[in-house]
Amino acid sequence: MSATKSDALVFFGATGDLAFKQIFPALQSMIRHGTLNVPIIGVAKAGWGVEQLRDRARESLEQHGGIDREAFSKLLALLRYVDGDYSDLATFRELKKQLGDAHHPLHYLAIPPSLFETVVANLAESGAATNARIVVEKPFGHDLASAQELNHTIHKYFPEPNVFRIDHYLGKEPVQNLLYFRFANSFLEPIWNRNYIRSVQITMAEIFGVQGRGAFYDATGAIRDVIQNHMLQLTAMLAMDPPMEHTHEGMRSEKSRVLKAVKPLASDVVVRGQFKGYHDEPGVAPDSSVETFAAVRLNINSWRWSGVPFLIRAGKCLPVTATEVLVELKRPPHDVFTEHPPASPNYYRFRLSPNVVIALGARSKLPGEEMKGEDVELILLEEAGKDVPPYERLLGDAMHGDPERFAREDTVEAAWRIVDPILGNAVPVFEYEPGTWGPSQADQLTPYKNGWHVLEPSSA
Q: Which residues are known to be catalytic?
A: 230
Closest CA to 292 of 310, 307, 279: 279
Cβ atoms of residues 126 and 93 within 8 Å: yes
The one-letter amino acid code at 372 reads K
Burial annotation 39-68 (CB, 10 A radius, 16+ → b, else e) = bbbbbbeeebeeeebbebbeebbeeeeeee
Q: How far apart are CA 13 and CA 65, in angstroms?
A: 21
Q: How far apart are CA 238 and CA 112, in angstroms?
A: 31
Q: Is 313 exposed, middle or buried (0-12, 13-18, 19+ CB in 10 A)?
A: buried
In degrees, rounded to 5, the angle at the alpha carbon of residue 207 between the alpha carbons of residues 323 and 209 is 115
Q: What are phi and psi of 106, to 5 degrees?
A: -110, 120
Q: How far apart are CA 71 and CA 75, in angstroms?
A: 6
DSSP 325: E
Q: Is 241 exposed, middle or buried (0-12, 13-18, 19+ CB in 10 A)?
A: middle
Q: What are phi and psi of 62, to 5 degrees?
A: -65, -30
In 168-219, DSSP assigns E strands to 197-205
Q: How far apart are CA 321 and CA 382, in angstroms?
A: 17
Q: How far apart are CA 102 and CA 38, in angstroms?
A: 9
